[in-house]
Structure 1
Amino acid sequence: MGVEVEAVTRPVQLGEGPHWSPREQALYYVDIFKQDVHRYHPASDTHSKLHIEGGPVTLVVPHTSKPNTLIVSVGRSLAAVTWPDPTRDLTISTFTTLATVEPGLPGNRFNDGKCDDLGRLWAGTMGATDVPDNPSPHQGSLYTLGSTGAAMVLDKVSISNGLAWSEDNHTFYYVDTAEYKVEAFTCDFTKAQINERRTILDYRTAGLYPSFPDGLTIDTKGRLWVACFGAGKIHCIDPQSRQIVDSVDLPTSNITSVCWGGANLDELYVTTTQKGLTAAQLKAQPSAGAVFRVAGVGARGRPPKDCCIALPA
Structure 2
Amino acid sequence: MKIERTIQVAVAENCALGESPVWDDQQRCLHFVDILSNKIYTYWPDDETSQVTQLDEMVGAIVPTKNLGFLAALPSGIYRLNLPGGTPQILVQPEPGNLENRFNDGKADSSGRLWIATMAQSEQQGLGNMYVVYPDLTFKMVLEKTTISNGLDWSEDDKYFYHVESDDAQIRRFDYEKLQGGILGKTTVVEFPDEEGVPDGMTIDSEGMLWVAHFGGGCVTRRDPSNGEILEKIELPVKQVTSCVFGGEDLNDLYITTASKGLSDSELAYQPQAGYTFVIKNLPFTGRPANKFG
TM-score strictly above 0.5: yes
Amino acid at match of 2:71: I
1:117-132 pair list within 5 angstroms:
117-130=110-123
Which residue does the alignment assign to 2:129? Answer: 141
Amino acid at match of 2:28: Q
2:173 aligns with one of 177, 180, 184: 184
Which residue does the alignment assign to 1:267? Answer: 253
Which residue does the alignment assign to 1:167? Answer: 156
1:14 and 2:3 aligned: no
How well do the aligned residues superpose, as a CA RMSD in angstroms? 1.7
TM-score normalised over the length of structure 2:
0.94
Deviation digits for residues 27-73 of structure 1 (CA, Å, limit 9, x no counterpart): 000011211111001012110111112x21111123222x4x32101
Deviation digits for residues 216-235 of structure 1 (CA, Å, limit 9, x no counterpart): 00011111000000011001
**Contact 2:75 2:99 (8 Å CA) reproduced:** no
**Contact 2:117 2:129 (8 Å CA) reproduced:** yes
Which residue does the alignment assign to 1:247? Answer: 233
1:208 and 2:210 aligned: no
**Contact 1:261 1:267 (8 Å CA) reproduced:** yes
State the 1:104 CA deviation.
Answer: 5.4
**Contact 2:153 2:162 (8 Å CA) reproduced:** yes
State the 1:242 CA deviation.
Answer: 1.9
1:70 and 2:63 aligned: no
Amino acid at match of 1:239: P
Which residue does the alignment assign to 1:133? Answer: none
Amino acid at match of 1:218: I
State the 1:238 CA deviation.
Answer: 0.2
State the 1:150 CA deviation.
Answer: 2.7
Amino acid at match of 2:199: P
**Contact 1:273 1:290 (8 Å CA) reproduced:** yes
**Contact 1:200 1:242 (8 Å CA) reproduced:** yes
Identity of aligned residues (%): 33
State the 1:120 CA deviation.
Answer: 1.6
2:26 aligns with one of 23, 36, 39: 23
Deviation digits for residues 142-172 of structure 1 (CA, Å, limit 9, x no counterpart): 1111213332111111011101100000100
1:97 aligns with one of 82, 90, 105: 90
**Contact 1:4 1:296 (8 Å CA) reproduced:** no
Amino acid at match of 1:33: L
Amino acid at match of 2:145: K
TM-score normalised over the length of structure 1:
0.88
Structure 1 gap segments, 5+ residues each: 131-135, 309-313
For residues 162 and 230 of structure 2, the distance between their equivalents in structure 1, rounded to whole angstroms, comes to 15
Give 4+ residue runs of structure 1 displaced > 6 Å after superposition.
none
For residues 194 and 99 of structure 1, the distance between their equivalents in structure 2, rounded to whole angstroms, comes to 22
**Contact 1:184 1:200 (8 Å CA) reproduced:** yes
1:35 aligns with one of 38, 41, 48: 38
